[in-house]
């Protein structure tokens, strides 16, 4: 099972750097029921890590859209003095899109299939954010983006 949420009494596995973050986002998409795509993005719209089903070009587009949506949610909540956004869900005819901030400078975007239990997906998103949020320092974000960008040229 997913190392950051393998049971109610389990402690999160230590996430130390870029390779752990990239591996965890792939594991997240592979093991959470109903998840089809997952992506970590910087809030300036750069793709940092993605699941296997996210080609580079799609990841770049989703990263920009995710950053924009998370910014829109933050600005809307500030205008109305509603507090910071926790997550965002968009229901679509053939699936769901879920978005969540990861710390102060990153976000998690997830696509899920119709009929999946969104509570389970949201639970695992929260666990994921708790496991990787503290690691996404500027240096780690830069390294993740460098790794992702270099994979485009292979």
This prediction has a pTM of: 0.83
Tokens, residue 107: 């976000």
What residue ranges do the domains of the chain occupy? 18-149
Element containing residue 114 per DSSP (H, E): none
Task: State pLDDT tens for residues 105-138.
Answer: 899 999 999 999 999 999 999 999 988 877 777 7
pLDDT at 7 over 80: no
Q: Does domain 18-149 have CATH number 3.40.50.1980?
A: no
Confidence grade of residue 3 (pLDDT, cut at 50, 70, 90): low
């Amino acid at each position: 099972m997913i190392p950051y949420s393998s049971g109610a009494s389990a402690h999160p596995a230590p996430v130390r750097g870029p390779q752990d973050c990239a591996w965890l986002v792939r594991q997240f998409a592979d093991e959470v029921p109903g998840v089809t795509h997952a992506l970590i993005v910087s809030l300036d719209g750069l793709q940092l890590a993605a699941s296997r089903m996210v080609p580079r070009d799609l990841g770049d587009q989703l990263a920009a859209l995710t950053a924009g949506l998370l910014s829109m949610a933050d600005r809307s909540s500030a205008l109305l003095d509603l507090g910071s956004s926790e997550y965002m869900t968009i229901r679509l005819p053939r699936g769901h899109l879920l978005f969540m901030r990861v710390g102060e400078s990153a976000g998690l975007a997830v696509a899920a299939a119709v009929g999946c239990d969104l509570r389970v997906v949201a639970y695992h998103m929260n666990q994921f954010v708790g496991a990787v949020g503290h690691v996404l320092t500027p240096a780690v974000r830069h390294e993740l983006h460098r790794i992702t960008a270099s994979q485009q040229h292979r």
